Structure 1
Amino acid sequence: MKKATIVVSAPYMGNRLFDLGNKSLNRDDCLRAFFLLKEEFKLKGYDLSTQDVNSEIESEVVIYNEMPKDFSNVVKEKSYLLIFESDIIRPDNWDLRKHDQFKKIFTWNDDYVDNVKYFKMNFPNTFHYTNPEKCLREKFAALISGNKTSRHERELYSERLKTIHWFEKNHSYDFDYYGFGWDQYNFGSQVIGKILKKLGAYKFLPKRTTCSYKGLVDSKFETLRRYQFNICYENGYDITGYITEKIFDALFAGCIPIYWGAQNIRAFVPENCFIDRRVFSTNEALYLHLKSLKYESILKYQENILAYLKSEEAKFFSSEYFAKNLSKKILCLKS
């Protein structure tokens, strides 16, 4: 069998990238797309493994999961780049000089896709379906994300924080939020935070407690099924095609997304399936709108969501499509 490799960060090496039984890494089945990708390569006569199992040098196909730090083993004619993170998280992903080192690049960014050098790749998801319900849910609104900061001009971390503060001050009984880092002090600097984490200093700081913070979640799907609305902001706004798992986490759970992110979201997800946060000038205006929605309106949203998830348009965001499309494109382009 021919060898292919995918270059990943340390936690995913040792083929842990494909291990669906690893509960710490495969949260909400996020590794299924790569498991299926490995299976698709196998059907085509390739053993796809991480770089510590199949080295870059001995592999006929090399896939880089995000921009590599080390280019010493990059051979352009057999190297393919997957870009998942935006420049808010990984500015090096968008260094065009580095793009020249790869034969082809796969990205969600519609501004780049030309089907010559750059090919469309959406964030993959394991689909779930939730039937419309006969009554309103027990809880009102939730937000699930990590506590992060950024100085990027298009970041939305600060808007998440503003939303949390507004709800806690005005309507805490209608709002819960989850995720890592919210019970730790945020010093407004990623550098300081990384230093404190490396030194193990966080354990000596008192925990932050707020009335709406509910800790971590084992399953976003099971958690969101209890809520009517999910506040799901991307890490950044007005980035073309940047549609991550956040809105789909809500859709799968039949939880109405309050979305802020990709400027062209309506080209991929029908506007009758989510509430566009950009329409509202304040959190208060948003809250009043949500409170005004009657059961019939909620039911209609849920029906629209289910219809969309079962449509042909939605399949482009599935793990199955990711694996089949990526393997086909890479191996066809290789030949």
Structure 2
Amino acid sequence: MTIATVGMISSYRGLESRGDWLWQQTPNPFGVWGNIQMQTLAAKPDFLVTYQFDFPQASPQISWLDRFRKRQQKPVVNVESLLRGVNKERIIYLLREPPLDEIVEINNRNYQQAQKYCGYVSGPDDFAPNPDYMPAIWYHSNSFQDLNEMPCPEKVSPCSWITSGINRTANHRQRLDFLQSLQSSDIKFDLYGRNLPEWAEKSGELGNKWYGMAPYYYNLAIENYADNNWYVSEKLWDSLLAWCLPIYYGGPAADKLLPPGSFLRLPSLDEKGIAYIKEVTATPDAWYAAKDAIAEARQIILHKLNLLNWLSNFVAQHS
């Protein structure tokens, strides 16, 4: 079988320079999955993924005064030079960010630009040329083989939440408000994350999300966006792969991708939601009832929803 190399460019900071991107999502060495090999930095890949890539805006006109003052201008990015000679029909654009009000204009501009260079353009919203769920990636450092074959770890604590202090959109601020209300309640849960507010009672940051999920029966998986039929993120995948029963706040996409009973629905980010969390996390009964469904969901995430599997199927159809 011929192995096709798949390169990648991204606007996510630090991601594009990672030669081992997605290698932890396969049991095979060096990013091989079926008929593909992920080689982010390949000089001449057979296929190219533009992964949450922000296409540069047209360079603004520079006034004579700016030239006189020699103000530093951002260099104009030559998109063609980034595409490494890959034919348009073999270039894939995958947008990951949800259509939040604050960035939907940027998302739409990226879709428009992507269609000039990419044969397939997709994202988790109705505005995308090909609306679709995001193929799964996850943020555990464990190997694929470990995640695939390990027994359920020992559960010793009721509930955790891994989140950040990002507050740049109304949805982020709503989540932080809910966090503050939850910590003001008498619900026992452990909080982990980066850049959290000073008032947050946190247990620190994590180098591997596994350690903030695996010992817990329940995990709060609260999306930044819950208002369409497409968006579901790694917050849910990470929780399930750590054998947690997610208490999930998000849109209906998860119901179409995962087996019934593999996660719980948080009804709202308010007092009703707090009451629900309190009731569920008071005992591990719901987790025990869901254990078989969690096991099934984990296999779906690892094998079927896996971004590498998605790319392998795409390559098979376009080779």
Query: Given the superposition, is the C-alpha separation of residues 120 and 33 from structure 1 closer, same or farther in structure 2, using an over 3 Å criterion?
Result: farther
Q: TM-score, normalised by structure 1?
A: 0.67
The answer to which of 174-183 and 294-303 deviates more is: 294-303
Paired residues of 1:146 and 1:180 also in contact (CA < 8 A) = yes
Tell me the equivalent position of 1:285. 275
Query: Given the superposition, is the C-alpha separation of residues 18 and 93 from structure 1 closer, same or farther in structure 2, using an over 3 Å criterion?
Result: farther
Paired residues of 1:142 and 1:224 also in contact (CA < 8 A) = yes
The answer to whether structure 1 residue 122 and structure 2 residue 135 are counterparts is yes
Q: Which amino acid aligns with 2:167?
A: T
The answer to whether structure 1 residue 177 and structure 2 residue 177 are counterparts is no
Tell me the equivalent position of 1:198. none
Tell me the equivalent position of 2:218. 229
Match 1:64 to one of 25, 31, 50: 50
Paired residues of 1:132 and 1:303 also in contact (CA < 8 A) = no
Paired residues of 1:143 and 1:230 also in contact (CA < 8 A) = yes
Tell me the equivalent position of 2:175. 160
Tell me the equivalent position of 1:12. 15
RMSD: 3.9
Write the deviation string for residues 1-55 of structure 1: whole angstroms up to 9, x where unpaired.
Answer: 99864223462345x24268xxxxx9xx47999953698445xxxx9443xx62x
Tell me the equivalent position of 1:87. 99
Q: TM-score, normalised by structure 2?
A: 0.70
Instruction: Give distance in 2, aligned partners of 1:166 and 1:121.
Output: 31
Query: Given the superposition, is the C-alpha separation of residues 164 and 108 from structure 1 closer, same or farther in structure 2, using an over 3 Å criterion?
Result: same
Q: Which amino acid aligns with 1:85?
A: E
Q: 1:273 offset after TM fit, Å?
A: 1.1
The answer to whether structure 1 residue 321 and structure 2 residue 316 are counterparts is no
Query: Given the superposition, is the C-alpha separation of residues 236 and 254 from structure 1 closer, same or farther in structure 2, using an over 3 Å criterion?
Result: same
Q: Which amino acid aligns with 1:231?
A: L
Tell me the equivalent position of 2:31. 36
Instruction: Give distance in 2, aligned partners of 1:130 and 1:305.
Output: 13
Tell me the equivalent position of 2:252. 263
Query: Given the superposition, is the C-alpha separation of residues 49 and 252 from structure 1 closer, same or farther in structure 2, using an over 3 Å criterion?
Result: closer
Does the residue aligned with 1:322 lie in a helix, a strand or coil?
A: helix
Tell me the equivalent position of 2:264. 275
Does the residue aligned with 1:101 lie in a helix, a strand or coil?
A: helix
Give structure 2 stretches of 5+ with no counterpart: 57-76, 139-143
Q: Which amino acid aligns with 2:279?
A: H
Tell me the equivalent position of 1:306. 295
Query: Given the superposition, is the C-alpha separation of residues 121 and 30 from structure 1 closer, same or farther in structure 2, using an over 3 Å criterion?
Result: same
Paired residues of 1:243 and 1:262 also in contact (CA < 8 A) = yes
Instruction: Give distance in 2, aligned partners of 1:271 and 1:109.
Output: 22
Query: Given the superposition, is the C-alpha separation of residues 130 and 31 from structure 1 closer, same or farther in structure 2, using an over 3 Å criterion?
Result: closer
Paired residues of 1:36 and 1:323 also in contact (CA < 8 A) = no
Q: Which amino acid aligns with 2:293?
A: N
Paired residues of 2:25 and 2:308 also in contact (CA < 8 A) = no
Paired residues of 2:136 and 2:237 also in contact (CA < 8 A) = no
Give structure 1 stretches of 5+ with no counterpart: 21-25, 184-207
Tell me the equivalent position of 2:168. 150
Q: 1:176 offset after TM fit, Å?
A: 1.6
Query: Given the superposition, is the C-alpha separation of residues 314 and 111 from structure 1 closer, same or farther in structure 2, using an over 3 Å criterion?
Result: farther
Query: Given the superposition, is the C-alpha separation of residues 30 and 217 from structure 1 closer, same or farther in structure 2, using an over 3 Å criterion?
Result: farther
Q: Which amino acid aligns with 1:97?
A: Q
Write the deviation string for residues 144-174 of structure 1: whole angstroms up to 9, x where unpaired.
Answer: 122112335xx2x2333123212221226x0
Instruction: Give distance in 1, aligned partners of 2:20 and 2:179.
Output: 35
Instruction: Give distance in 2, aligned partners of 1:326 and 1:224.
Output: 32
Query: Given the superposition, is the C-alpha separation of residues 283 and 5 from structure 1 closer, same or farther in structure 2, using an over 3 Å criterion?
Result: closer
Instruction: Give distance in 1, aligned partners of 2:16 and 2:199.
Output: 36
Q: 1:245 offset after TM fit, Å?
A: 1.1
Q: Which amino acid aligns with 2:313?
A: N
Does the residue aligned with 2:267 lie in a helix, a strand or coil?
A: helix
Instruction: Give distance in 2, aligned partners of 1:85 and 1:171.
Output: 34
Q: What is the count of residue pairs matched by the alignment? A: 279
